[in-house]
Amino acid sequence: MQELVEQLNTEGYAIVRGFLSPSEMAELSAEVDKMYQEGLRHHATYRDRNLLFEVLNDPKAKRRVVLQAHWTAWISPLMEHMRRSAKFFSVLAPFLGEDIKQISHQVHWKPPGAKYTSYRFHQDARFREGNIKDFDYVRSSVTTGLAIDRQTVENGALRIIPRSHRLGYLGLSDDGPIMVGQTQDEELRRASLDPSKIMTCEMQPGDLLLWTLFTVHGSAPNVSQYDRRFMINSYVRASDSERGEWAFRSGVSTALGAEPQICKYEQLRERPGPFYIETDWTEEARTPVVADAPP
């Protein structure tokens, strides 16, 4: 664990090989497939408080695809247990202590044949409100990415620029959606980043990647014939955040409460849902419209 701590602090990322066993991954893989089918029940992106399915009629695949799901722990007992399991605590505690909240809980898909399967280089601090972009928060949060499928160059494995977390918040890709287009080398150089340092985090199912809020990362499109499923859980030291769902209190696994807590988006206080988000962020963008879902 000390080596893991040192690598994350020094390089801005670390990989835990074999974090989950083959049997655990088989169970999780089946559950993730169920969540995908649940997402396809919706004609467009659907939000109900923290639960969200991002659904897109992909112009290249010519079918409806699910790109990501947030907080499926509210509808999946397996996901609810996994996000606060003893294995996660053993990895998180050396960084965050015994009182830990969870800010994000996501599953990402990169369906083969789809157009929108890449992510421009960015830092996750982009998606935090308030003063979280201050560099003091570099050690307050840890994001984990669990490989559900093989993560390869061909299917768009996560790409990281080592030691980029030392530069503070750079504002990469703040000019628009991170799934439209790809970051050009010139943009990285303007931010004092060397494109030749980019490394692809190839992993096997069950491997766990860790990175910081300030680690510059992105991913290329999936050009393979197989999916790239990836589960992201982001945690924060509880004393540093009023937001988030409890994951561990004094080292004790803590279940979700009766009502969802504000994690990222303050607007959920005024509009918790359920509703559909009809806004089209793609290159084929239509006029943005948001319509409430039927009761």
Mean pLDDT confidence for 54-64:
95
pTM for the structure as a whole: 0.93
Domains of the chain with CATH codes: 2-21+76-263 (2.60.120.620)
For 14-18, 43-47, 88-92, 267-271, which range has the lowest pLDDT when averaged over its residues?
A: 267-271
pLDDT digits (tens, 9 = 90+) for 233-269: 999 999 988 899 999 999 999 999 999 999 987 777 8
The confidence score (pLDDT) of residue 209 equals: 98
- At residue 11 the predicted structure's pLDDT band, cuts being 50, 70 and 90, is very high
Predicted confidence at residue 285, as pLDDT, reads: 72
SS (H, E, C) the chain: CHHHHHHHHHHCEEEECCCCCHHHHHHHHHHHHHHHHHHHCCCCEEEECCEEEEEEEECCCCEEEEEEEECHHHCCHHHHHHCCCHHHHHHHHHHHCCCEEEEEEEEECCCCCCCCCCEEEECHHHHCCHHHHCHHHHHCEEEEEEECCCECCCCCCEEECCCHHHHCCCCCCCCCCCCCCCCCHHHHHHCCCCHHHCEECCECCCCEEEECCCCCEEECCCCCCCCCCEEEEEEEEHHHCCCCEEEEECCEECCCCCCCCCCCCHHHHCCCCCEEECCCCCCCCCCCCEEECCC
Average pLDDT over residues 107-115: 96
Q: Phi and psi for 82 in degrees, rounded to 5?
A: -65, -40
Residue 280 pLDDT class (50, 70, 90 cuts):
confident
234 φ/ψ angles, rounded to the nearest 5 degrees: -115, 130
Give 2 or 251, the one with higher predicted confidence: 251
The confidence score (pLDDT) of residue 264 equals: 80
Give the model's pLDDT for residue 292.
Answer: 61
If one compares 60 and 294, the residue with the highest pLDDT of the two is 60
Q: What percent of the chain has pLDDT over 70?
A: 94
The answer to which of 10-19, 20-29, 244-253, 256-265 has the lowest mean pLDDT is: 256-265
Q: How confident is the model at residue 130 (pLDDT cuts 50, 70, 90)?
A: low
pLDDT of residue 269: 81
Q: Whole-angstrom Cα distance, residue 234 to residue 127?
A: 12
The whole-angstrom separation of Cα 187 and Cα 121 is: 10
| pLDDT over 50 (residue 287) | no
Beta-carbon contacts of 228 under 8 Å, excluding residues fewer than 6 positions away, are: 108, 109, 110, 117, 149, 151, 152, 155, 156, 157, 222
- Residue 291 pLDDT > 80: no
Say if residue 294's pLDDT is above 70: no
- Quote the pLDDT of residue 266: 73
What pLDDT is stored for residue 138 in this prediction? 72
Span 181-208, average pLDDT: 95
